[in-house]
Amino acid sequence: MPRPFRFGVNLLTPSPAAEWRAKCRRAEELGYDVILVPDHLGMVAPFPALVAAAEATERPRLGTFVLNAGFWNPALLAREVATTDALTGGRLELGLGTGYVQAEHETAGLPYGSPRERVDHLRRTVRELDRLLGSEEFQPRPAQSRVPLLIGANGDRMLRLTAEHADITAFTGARPGTAPGTLTPLTAEELDERVARYRKLAAGRAEPAELNLLIQLVAVTDDPEPVLKPLLERQPGLTLDQALALPIVLAGPLDDVVERVRAQRERFGFSYLTVLEPSMEAFAPVMERLREESA
């Protein structure tokens, strides 16, 4: 029996208080299960933004997608996590990653480190969070007995860490590009291999993790070519047909997009999909159709 769908939206654009709350309420009205925020310089500070989202909404879970572990001291992060979970009434889902934009670390005056060093720091962070938040002596206390942990992963060491610790495994659907801070989309076949590698590493788990995919572009349209033009310009090796087949792209008529989402759950196991803020409205009819079919 497939896991039921969940849908999240990652809110990227800073807004004044009234606009931020209205945007969060709109996400709830559209039916999103999770309101998420990123962790990049120039975007919202994650934890106060989630507290404000909780004040404006009642139903959605609230998450980080994903925190850049290199920005955070584990003990201070544990305090933020516990406080935010308490202030949101136990609605927090904690997303963690290594970070991939070196320029942000340089701007913040923080070391960036090699890929190995960044993964090692994330592993230490996860273990320390488990130790601190799992201790009854730690203050402040979160509202949940365990704050669900999402880890964004693609490489082998990250997939191993995710298999060992994460309640939610988030596949990036992309790998670092040749230019600093850029990403290159994975084909469906490449993502097949990554998911298979994760499943092998996670074979001994008592409970399977929820599998998440970040969708980079959503367009419900009979003519997807104009919408995909910016992607094709950034990825000059891609044809239009190849772009339409990317797992992180959902573009085409509504029936086709709905079928693509169902097919990706069947093929990869992705039951939790995250879209970016610019796609929040476009993805709403897809969610509505999928929920009608499963009711």
Which CATH number belongs to the domain containing residue 84 in this structure? 3.20.20.30
Residue 259: the pLDDT is: 97
CB-based contacts of 3, cutoff 8 Å, min separation 6: 210, 265, 269, 271
Residue 116 has pLDDT above 70, yes or no: yes
Q: Supply the angle between the helices 74-87 and 115-133 in degrees, to the nearest 10.
A: 50
**181 pLDDT band (50/70/90 cuts)?**
low
Cα end-to-end span (Å), the chain: 15
CA distance 153 to 97: 7
- Structure tokens of 162? 């995710």
Across the range 193-201, mean pLDDT stands at 98
In a domain, residue 227? The reply is no
Across the range 154-160, mean pLDDT stands at 95
Of 189, 191, 186, give the one whose Cα is nearest residue 175: 186
Q: Supply the angle between the helices 46-56 and 74-87 in degrees, to the nearest 10.
A: 10
**183 pLDDT band (50/70/90 cuts)?**
confident
Provide the mean pLDDT of the chain: 96
Residue 180: the pLDDT is: 66
Query: Considering the entire predicted model, what is its pTM?
Result: 0.96
**172 pLDDT band (50/70/90 cuts)?**
confident
Q: How many domains does the chain have?
A: 1
CA distance 250 to 235: 17
Cite the beta strand spans of 154-263 per DSSP E. 168-171, 174-176, 183-185, 210-215, 217-220, 249-252
CB-based contacts of 9, cutoff 8 Å, min separation 6: 27, 32, 34, 35, 36, 274, 275, 276, 277, 279, 280, 283
Helix (H) or strand (E) run with residue 57 in it? none
Residue 166 has pLDDT above 80, yes or no: yes
Residues 172/183, Cβ–Cβ less than 8 Å? yes
In a domain, residue 247? The reply is no
Residue 23 has pLDDT above 80, yes or no: yes
Residue 46 has pLDDT above 70, yes or no: yes
The better pLDDT of the pair 295, 57 is held by 57
Residue 237: the pLDDT is: 87
In a domain, residue 186? The reply is yes
Whether the bond into 140 is cis, omega within 30 of 0: yes
In a domain, residue 221? The reply is no
Domain containing 183 equals 6-216+253-294
Residue 182 has pLDDT above 80, yes or no: no
Residue 125 has pLDDT above 90, yes or no: yes
Q: What angle do CA 165, 172, 127 make, to 5 degrees?
A: 20
What region, left, alpha or beta, does residue 208 occupy, with left being phi > 0 and alpha being psi -120 to 50 degrees? Answer: beta
In a domain, residue 77? The reply is yes
**295 pLDDT band (50/70/90 cuts)?**
low
Residue 271: the pLDDT is: 98
Helix (H) or strand (E) run with residue 70 in it? none
In a domain, residue 101? The reply is yes
Helix (H) or strand (E) run with residue 152 in it? strand 149-153
In a domain, residue 240? The reply is no
Interval 8-19: pLDDT, tens: 999 999 999 999
In a domain, residue 267? The reply is yes
